[in-house]
Amino acid sequence: MDDIVRQALAKWPNVPDCYGWLGLDARGNWYMRDDRAQAIGAFAGGPAGSKGSLLRHDKLIDFIQRNYAADADGQWYFQNGPQRVYVELEATPWIWRVNQGGDGRFSVTGHHGSPVQARSCGVDELGRVYLDTSLGFGLVHTQDVSVVADAIEAGLWSPLALVSQELPGRFAYVASPAVHQKNRQAKP
C-alpha cells in the first residue's frame, strides 16, 4: 500500500466504502462504472455498456494495482486514499499471463505485472483455464491458454476439473461486492 494511502487512512478513518464503481474484466483490464453503466446492468454478464469506461491512464492503473487487496470476506477492493472502492469481478480476482521463454521455462505474471509461482492448474466445464498461485486464484488470459497447454504437455501441470459456479466459494472470493453488500443490508 502506498504511503500516501496510509496517511489518508489515518487522517480520515471513517470514509464510507464505495460499491459498483470499479470493475476488473477477464482480460485484466480495469473499468470505471458511472451511474449510467451501473443502471444498465451487472458488470459480469451484463448487457452492452454495463462494463463502463475502460481505464487507459497507466499511472492510475498502476496506483489501483499497488493498492489492490481483499478484505476478510473475500471482497477485492482498491484502497483509494481513505476510501475502499470495491471491485466487481468479471471472472476472478487475478488474471494470469503465462509465457514460455527461449529456455523452455514457463513463467506466470499477474495482471499487475508481478511474477508468481503456480501451484495448481484447473479447467472448468466451459474450457476456461485457471491457476492457483502463490498470490491466489485466477483465470489464465485467453491469449495464453495455448501456452498452458504446452506446459501441461511438458508435464508441468496436471489440470483439475473445476465447476465455474463453485469457484468463488472454493477459492474464497466475492465476484460482486455490490450484490454482496445489498444482500447483507436486506437481512434483518
C-alpha cell at 21: 464503481
Cα–Cα distance measured from residue 130 to residue 105, given in angstroms and rounded to the nearest whole number: 19
The per-residue pLDDT for 11 is: 65
For residue 130, which of 93, 100, 105, 177 has the smallest C-alpha distance? 93
The pLDDT assigned to 114 comes to 92
Which pLDDT value is given to residue 104? 86
Q: What per-residue confidence (pLDDT) applies to 10?
A: 66
H/E element holding 169? Answer: helix 167-170
Residues 6+ apart with CB under 8 A from 48: 40
CB count, 10 Å around CB of 50? 20
How is residue 166 written as a grid cell?
A: 463453485
Query: C-alpha 8: how far from its chain's center?
Result: 24
pTM as predicted: 0.90
Quote the DSSP letter at residue 123: E
Return the bridge partners of 77, or none: 69, 86
What pLDDT score was predicted for residue 86? 97
* CA 155 – CA 166 distance, rounded (Å): 26
What is the rounded CA–CA span in Å between residue 98 and residue 107? 6
pLDDT per position in the chain (188 positions), as tens? 677 666 665 666 677 899 999 999 999 999 999 999 999 999 999 999 999 999 999 999 999 999 999 999 999 999 988 889 999 999 999 999 999 998 989 999 999 999 999 999 999 999 999 999 999 999 999 999 999 999 999 999 999 999 999 999 999 999 999 999 988 888 76
| DSSP assignment letter at 56 | -
How much is the pLDDT for 41?
95
Domains and CATH numbers, the chain: 3-91+173-186 (3.10.540.10), 94-168 (no CATH)
Count helices and strands in the chain by DSSP H and E runs: 6, 13
Amino acid making up residue 8: A
pLDDT of residue 24: 98
The two most distant CA atoms of the chain are separated, in Å, by 59
